[in-house]
Homo-oligomer: A and B are copies of this chain.
Amino acid sequence: MKLNSNLKVGKNYKETSIIDVNSIKIGGKKLTIIAGPCSVESKEQINDISKNVKRSGASILRGGAFKPRTSPYSFQGLELEGLNLLKEAKKNTNLPIVSEIMSVSMIEKFIEDVDIIQVGARNMQNFDLLKELGKTKKPILLKRGFSATIEEFLNSAEYIMSGGNENIILCERGIRTFEPFTRNTLDISSIPIIKKLSHLPIIVDPSHASGISSLVEPLSLASISAGADGLIIEVHNDPKNALCDGEQSLNINEFDELVKKVKLVANAVNREV
């Protein structure tokens, strides 16, 4: 396996990085489970979901406030109101929150409001955004572009790292292939490869990788077996009426079942939840 070993994200830099998010450690023996809805939709929705995913074992809450949609006419998220509702859910549950940023102009606001700033797949090579985030110290969840090679993915992390921000969590979320059954094809191999090539933690998003809720469990278990440091799962209290991505969201009970099974597999590979 290649990759320029002088990269700061490369293995020679440090053996393993552990990212600290409000005392939650990402990248150690303990797996990190992030859960929440695709989009924050209302106070009731986000409070209900956050309370439930916490009880089931999630340690971080996800929720989209600004949504990158293919069409300008699709629901674009609750935007600033969404961030406010997330903050309220955090106050109620004490769960740190992660949300996706889409604009350099929002960086200050996100630093104040969220605990981890997510860079989505479509912005993985928005180098302007990466450079600006590199000047902060905020933990960044960097998703792999859906047609980025592993080498390009790590180089995008390097854009952030080279600016001085070493708090990076990578996220595999599927790549674009010819197979039409799934929304994307989860590149399960990227997990052990990235663990070899870099010192950064890597988590997996089986919800976007598959686009099908019934595949979330097998892909989650597979990811943990392959060495992933955690999962980010879409959970909704009413998937059928979700404003986006309902068909890939688990409901509250399914998520609870999932965490139980993840624990069993985690133990089998010497990890814990």
Contacts and interface: CB of A to CB of B under 8 A. Distances in A.
A70 B103 CA distance: 20
A71 to B, nearest CB: 5
Contact of A193 (B125, B128, B182): B182
A80 B78 CA distance: 37
A181 B218 contact: no
A89 B76 CA distance: 42
Contacts of A218: 188-189, 191-192, 225-227
A73 to B, nearest CB: 7
A15 interface: no
A123 B127 CA distance: 9
A149 B223 CA distance: 22
B215 A219 contact: no
Given A212-B1, A219-B189, A222-B225, A179 B158 contact: no
Interface string A73-116: 10000000000000000000000000000111100000000000
A196 B104 CA distance: 36
Interface string A208-233: 01101011001101111111000000
B149 A181 contact: yes
A186 interface: yes
Nearest to A156: B70
Q: Which of A151, A177, A178, A225 has the most CB of B within 10 A?
A: A225
A188 B222 contact: yes
B177 A193 contact: no
B192 A214 contact: yes
Given A103-B104, A123-B126, A264-B268, 14 more contacts: A1-B181, A68-B125, A70-B155, A71-B158, A72-B155, A104-B105, A104-B128, A145-B147, A149-B178, A175-B185, A180-B180, A181-B189, A261-B269, A265-B269
Interface of A: 1, 4, 68-73, 102-105, 122-123, 125-129, 131, 145-147, 149-152, 155, 158-159, 162, 175-182, 185-193, 196, 209-210, 212, 214-215, 218-219, 221-227, 261, 264-265, 267-269
25 contacts: A72-B155, A73-B158, A102-B127, A103-B128, A104-B128, A126-B126, A145-B147, A146-B147, A147-B176, A150-B181, A175-B178, A177-B185, A179-B187, A179-B190, A181-B189, A182-B193, A185-B187, A186-B188, A189-B210, A192-B214, A192-B218, A193-B215, A221-B225, A224-B225, A225-B225
